[in-house]
Amino acid sequence: VQLQASGGGLVQAGGSLTLSCVASGHAFRSYTVAWFRQAPGKEREFVAAKGTSGVTDYADSVEGRFTISKDNVKNTMYLQMNNLKPEDTGVYYCAAQSSAALMRSHYGYWGQGTLVTVSS
C-alpha cells in the first residue's frame, strides 16, 4: 500500500489542524494505522494508532487533544489535532500495517510526511 499525507501547515498555539493520509491499494480495512511525528533534532515518536477493531491508542502527550480516525470507504486516515502547542511542531508521518494488532511500532508502510508548525 502507498500512503500520501497532507494537511500540514502553520497554526497558532491553541488552534486546530486536521491531517489526512490517503492509501492506495485494497483491503485498507484490514490495516492498523498510526501517526508518528519527528520534531527538529529529535527521534521520530509515536502519536496515535487505530486498530482494525476500532480501538485507539494515544501517546500521553496528545491524549485528549488529538483524535485518529479511519474511513475504509475512502481509504483515508485522519488526525484531528486540537489545542495545539508549540511542542507539537514536527513532521507528521502516517503509517500502516496489515495487522489486527494495535501497535506503537513495526509499521511497514509509511507516508512521506507533512510539516506542522505551531507558533507561540
Tens place of pLDDT per residue across the chain (120 aa): 999 999 999 999 999 999 999 999 777 889 999 999 999 999 999 999 999 999 999 999 999 999 999 999 999 999 999 999 999 999 999 999 998 888 999 999 999 999 999 999
Q: Provide the pLDDT for residue 15.
A: 98
Q: Provide the pLDDT for residue 100.
A: 81
CB neighbours (10 Å) of residue 98? 13
Residue 59 in grid coordinates: 501517546
What is the three-class DSSP state of 88?
helix
DSSP assignment of 24-72, as one string? Answer: -SS-GGG-EEEEEEE-TTS--EEEEEE-TTS-EEE-TTTTTTEEEEEET
Q: Provide the pLDDT for residue 99.
A: 86
Q: Provide the pLDDT for residue 113.
A: 95
Radius of gyration for the alpha carbons in the chain, expressed in angstroms and rounded? 13
Q: Provide the pLDDT for residue 96.
A: 96
Q: Which of 17, 113, 31 is nearest to 72 (CA)?
A: 31
- Phi/psi-derived region of residue 64, left when phi > 0, alpha when psi is between -120 and 50, beta in every other case: left
